Structure 1
Amino acid sequence: MEDLNFKPKAIIFDLNGTMIDDMKYHTLAWHSIMNDDLGANLAYETVKKEMYGKNHEVLERVFGKNKFSVAEVEKLSFDKEKRYQEGYFPHLALIDGLDNFLERAKEDNIAMAIGSAAIPFNIDFVVDGLNIRNYLAAIVSADDVLTSKPDPETFLKAAEALGIKPDDCLVFEDAPKGVESALNAGMKCIVLTTTHKVDEFDEYSNILAFIADYHDEKLNSLF
């Protein structure tokens, strides 16, 4: 049941699928790498299910551990991110309504951060490409954590960087593993339905609401 009787002191955004609607382009890039470069012959939907965590974790889930050397993983990761950015750049934009939401949260003195499994190369591509760095007091990337979502490390480090207790933080996410990460961190969550269907989140008790974009009037209760 949706419940927005919560006034957060901090908001932590996942990035991909949450601030920007770009997950299709990550999936397309990995699909190209896995099939065209590595001959895996995987369906798009099969690749889509693996779209969480760090790049080397994605490769390990699909191909098994120790399939690639460190140098090979680095090259595959670089090639994937290059294809992603080339594909997504013409469509680079905040999810509808987020520009006004960021301004409203800033005016309300709500601290904001990004907690993402993306690498800094991609986070900078978005944050600077859309000129939103001034809204963010902290950024936690894949390079800043040892264990990816659903481990809580990403969100706990973001809360620590903001100086806000976890139970005063609100997470915006689009993926079940991200919601699970927020739950493990003791944080409430609002889910963007950009990437996954509502029924994929049935097992999580920390979800306050589902929204399609940041124009949703339910968000007014946060301020």
Structure 2
Amino acid sequence: MEKISACIFDLDGVVVDTAKYHYIAWRSLANELGFDFTKEDNERLKGVSRMTSLDILLEIGNVELDEKTKLQLAEKKNKNYLEYILKMTPDEILPGVKDFFKVLKSEGIKIALGSASKNAMTILKQLQLTDYFDAIVDGTHVSKAKPDPEVFLKGAELLGFSPAECIVFEDAEAGVEAALNGKMRCVGIGSPEVLGKANLVVPGFVGLTMAQLDF
């Protein structure tokens, strides 16, 4: 087994919980279109691109629109979402994340971001986390959505390591599959029922040690 040289982190649900802001913005859009959008509905949008998310939302509301209108609505949702994330503070970093980053730095392990979010840089700046990352790959750098491994493979490439030397941290099933498809090891953050394909599943970063990553 290759030695771990790099850790690649998804953003939403792993480093910070932006899902609540996505949900508020999507629900607001659904309400404008005349239907409700529940938290259960929102689960279907985890790790999915913006336009695919909109298609799912419209399917839930049984609404059909042309491409031009869909693009306008996606832009409107993003504008609402941006208003929320521009008010974020470092207090919103999930528990244990910053301490774990410090442990990785002290061990000489490189850190990359592998996120589908096109707003990743804005979020990292708001959280004052940018300096922890040696490479950042977000939705502006990739064309294929998870479970395609493109976002993680680009992160490994930017860091200069083979996939076998990297561990991915993910909270969504599609993300875990993307890591495995890219021949990387994966730690699932959340529930074993959802993330059972990961090499290791933990509830969060509090108390996570390097020894646990030796698999």
Q: TM-score range by the shorter chain?
A: 0.7 to 0.9
Alignment of 1:192 onto 2:189: yes
Equivalent position SS for 1:31: helix
Cα offset, 1:173, TM superposition: 0.4
1:58-101 per-residue CA deviation (whole Å, 9 max, x = no partner) reads 1233436x83424x344323332333344453565211111111
- What are the ranges of 5 or more consecutive residues in structure 1 without an aligned counterpart? none
Equivalent position SS for 1:144: coil
- Identify if the C-alpha distance between structure 1 residues 43 and 95 changes in structure 2 by more than 3 Å, giving closer, same or farther: closer
1:142-195 per-residue CA deviation (whole Å, 9 max, x = no partner) reads 1211210011111111111111100111000001011011111111111111xx
Q: In the TM superposition, what are the counterparts of 1:117-156 in structure 2 within 5 Å?
A: 117-119=116-118, 122-156=119-153
Please name the residue that 1:213 is paired with. Answer: 204
Alignment of 1:61 onto 2:56: yes
Please name the residue that 1:97 is paired with. Answer: 96
- What are the ranges of 5 or more consecutive residues in structure 2 without an aligned counterpart? none
1:16-69 per-residue CA deviation (whole Å, 9 max, x = no partner) reads 0000022122122212212x22234333311321232221121233436x8342
Q: Taking every aligned residue pair, what percent have the same amino acid on both sides?
A: 32
One-letter identity of the residue aligned with 2:111 = M
Please name the residue that 1:44 is paired with. Answer: 39
Quote the Cα distance in structure 2 between the aligned partners of 1:131 and 1:12. 18
Cα offset, 1:219, TM superposition: 4.3
Please name the residue that 1:17 is paired with. Answer: 13
Higher relative contact order (CA 8 A, sep 6+): 1
- Relative to the length of structure 2, the TM-score reads 0.85
- Identify if the C-alpha distance between structure 1 residues 215 and 7 changes in structure 2 by more than 3 Å, giving closer, same or farther: farther
Detail structure 1 runs of 4+ shifted over 6 Å in the superposition.
none
- Relative to the length of structure 1, the TM-score reads 0.82
Quote the Cα distance in structure 1 between the aligned partners of 2:195 and 2:124. 28
Alignment of 1:109 onto 2:100: no
Quote the Cα distance in structure 2 between the aligned partners of 1:27 and 1:7. 39
Quote the Cα distance in structure 2 between the aligned partners of 1:220 and 1:20. 24
One-letter identity of the residue aligned with 1:112 = I
